[in-house]
Structure 1
Amino acid sequence: MDLSFITDGWAGHLSYLLLVLSMLMRRMFWLRLFVIASALAGIAFDFFWLNNPVGVFWQALLVLVNLAELFILWRNDRRASFSSEEHRFREALLPGLSPGRTRRFLDMGRWETLAPGTVLTREGQPPDFLTYLDDGEVRIEAHGRMLRVVTGGHYIGEMSMMGDGRAVATATLQSRARVWRIERAKLRRLRDTAPATMAVLETGIARDMRAKLVFQNASNFADVSER
């Protein structure tokens, strides 16, 4: 095997390897760092091996653009601020999302104080919103039977994001509640325009669904034990 293919152009191979690795990064910060590293290796290859000023120019421009984007990410993260309820939401159900992206995502929805009796989802119908319950109590009913009461720190209507989009239960507020809500149409657009943010949201939803399932199983076990 002729090793000159590797040894004579190692900087070129490194450039493309780093570019491929950048596509595997789930966080934008690391993706841009790998792209910058790839471009720097490409500059070395174009300058020392190929004597290609055109390649050097475009690779240098790529470095500058990504440095500018990293600066914007840093600035947005520094400027982002959160209320106490937003901080609880972020810590519990938006794991790994940068402060700047979290701020933009929260601004897509709105905080509301809702009265007892407000229906958040209706069984068999697509809900208008995905709702995060910061405090208050929600009664969950399906097929005319009460399943459980959900308290603060959970999503309401998350099951409608799966399958045919219809709610599997009716969720009704039992008390005054503070909630954050986002329209389903905005979530559909988010899937196309910000897939990384959507991936974090779906991770938080999966975590919330597991927590509810564990609680429901524990409650059912307790009911059986008391009989």
Structure 2
Amino acid sequence: MDLSFITDGWAGHLSYLLLVLSMLMRRMLWLRLLVIASALAGIAFDYFWLNNPVGVFWQTLLVLVNVAELLILWRNDRRATFTPEEEHFRSGLLHGLSPGQARRLFDRGRWEDLAPGTVLTRQGACPEFLTYLASGDVSVEVGGRAIRTVSGGHFIGEMSLMGDDAASATTVVSTPARAWRIERPKLLRLRETNHAAMAVVEAGIARDMRAKLMYQNAGDGQT
């Protein structure tokens, strides 16, 4: 192997390596920092090795755009404020989101006070909302028979909304509850337009599903 392929253009290799690494980042801050680092290495390669002013111009523009985006992220994070229930939700299941990202996600949905008897999902039908239950209790029913109760701090309807399946159970509010709800179309748009934020939401849903399964298995072991 000709080592000059590596040694003579190490800045070019570094630029592309950093760009590839940036695509693996889930947090927008690290993604943009790595893109900036990639562009800086690319500027060095274009200027000192290739003597390519066109490349220098476009790599410099890439740096400026990402610096501007970082400033916008910083401004949004500084302006973001949360109620106590939003902060509990964010720290428990959405702790990978920056304050600004979390604020935008909460604003896509809405907080509601739910009365007993409110149906959140119906067995055999696709849920209209993804619901985060902040407080209160929800009865889970299959075939008209109550099989368990879900209390505050958990998602409702997440398994169906993350795929295209109908709900496997009917969930009904059994005590006065407080919940954050986001409509299915808005969640699907988030998946298409903001992969990093949606990845955090999906990771939170996965953690919540594991917690509910562990609780259910522990309850089954006690009977």
TM-score of the superposition, structure 1-length normalised?
A: 0.94
Q: How does 1:107-146 map to 2 (within 5 A)?
A: 107-146=107-146
Asked if 1:92 corresponds to 2:92, the answer is yes
Partner residue in 2 for 1:40? 40
- Does 17-26 or 32-41 show the bigger shift? 17-26
Alignment root-mean-square deviation, CA: 1.3
Give distance in 1, aligned partners of 2:162 and 2:145: 22
Give distance in 2, aligned partners of 1:212 and 1:2: 56
Partner residue in 2 for 1:51? 51
In structure 1, runs of 5+ residues without a counterpart are none
Partner residue in 1 for 2:211? 211
- Does 108-117 or 141-150 show the bigger shift? 141-150
Partner residue in 2 for 1:22? 22
How far is the alpha carbon of 1:162 from its aligned partner?
A: 4.4
Letter in 1 for 2:146: M
How far is the alpha carbon of 1:165 from its aligned partner?
A: 2.6
Give distance in 2, aligned partners of 1:106 and 1:182: 8
Mark the CA change 1:61 to 1:122 in structure 2 (over 3 Å): closer, same or farther: same
Give distance in 1, aligned partners of 2:163 and 2:176: 30
How far is the alpha carbon of 1:163 from its aligned partner?
A: 4.7
Structure 1 or 2, whichever has the larger Rg, is: 1
Give distance in 1, aligned partners of 2:37 and 2:159: 41
**Quick one: percent identity of the two aligned structures?**
72
TM-score of the superposition, structure 2-length normalised?
A: 0.95
Give distance in 2, aligned partners of 1:179 and 1:145: 24
Mark the CA change 1:16 to 1:115 in structure 2 (over 3 Å): closer, same or farther: same
Letter in 1 for 2:4: S
Give distance in 1, aligned partners of 2:25 and 2:214: 32
Matched residue count: 223
Preserved CA contact (<8 Å) 2:89 2:134: yes
Partner residue in 1 for 2:157? 157
Letter in 1 for 2:182: I
Give distance in 1, aligned partners of 2:209 and 2:48: 55
Letter in 2 for 1:207: R
Give distance in 1, aligned partners of 2:98 and 2:55: 33
Give distance in 1, aligned partners of 2:197 and 2:222: 38
